[in-house]
Amino acid sequence: MSAASPVPGVPEMAPDFLDRDLAADLTTTALAMARRLAAGATMWCVARGREPRARQLAAKFTHQRFQGERALPAFALTGPDLLRQARAAVRSGDLLVAVAVAADAEVADLMRRAPAWGARTIWIGSGQRPPGGAADHVLWIDDPDLLTPGRLELLSHLLSELIRSCSEHPSMAADGLAARGDKRAARARPGDRW
């Protein structure tokens, strides 16, 4: 059973789309990503064979929702040989986010190698889940078709909004500066001005 969409042209969403497990995974992932981004990480997005999805995900972070908001560093890796591109681009502390089905061997290889580069991995997809430990964070929709319109976009949007909400918290700014070595941030209290 699905809920009727109140907006013409927008796909219907199942009422149980965001179940308790996915909501918990989403919040844990958003907080971990926000901490990394506050510490100076860059987010690298891949979606092998679906490059527009990688570009769309990166764009959610690089655009400003309102004037004065900080754009987050996010880029899409596209084209052939994603492993070589990722190895050249990803640095220690960065985030590697993949949108793919669990059977995608190239993405599985990227998720396996990225921790050796010092990167955290996030795997977003649908259908059969990847094996446990395949990525640091797994956001999975119980829908066999990764191309189902709406659900993946909604999940990506929720992730970006949660990350931005976490990033705007005063303690996150102090934590990020401390992680980058700013000694004043380690002594600062939320609300302090330097």
Q: What would the two tokens of residue 51 be?
A: 């490059």
Long-range contacts of 22-27 (CB under 8 A, 24+ apart): 22/139, 22/140, 22/141, 22/155, 25/137, 25/138, 25/139, 25/140, 26/139, 26/155, 26/158, 26/159, 26/162, 27/162
Q: Is the pLDDT of residue 9 over 50?
A: yes
Q: Summarize pLDDT for 103-152 with one digit per residue, the tens.
A: 999 999 999 999 999 999 999 988 888 999 999 999 998 776 665 667 88
Instruction: Please report, for the chain, the start and end positions of each structural domain, with discontinuous segments joined by +.
Output: 20-175
pLDDT in tens, 21-78: 889 999 999 999 999 999 999 999 999 888 888 998 899 888 766 677 777 899 999 9
CA-nearest of 71, 98, 68 to 83 is: 98
Q: What value does the mean pLDDT take over residues 150-161? A: 85
Stated pTM of the model: 0.79
For residues 86-96, average pLDDT: 96
Domain 20-175 class, CATH top level:
alpha beta
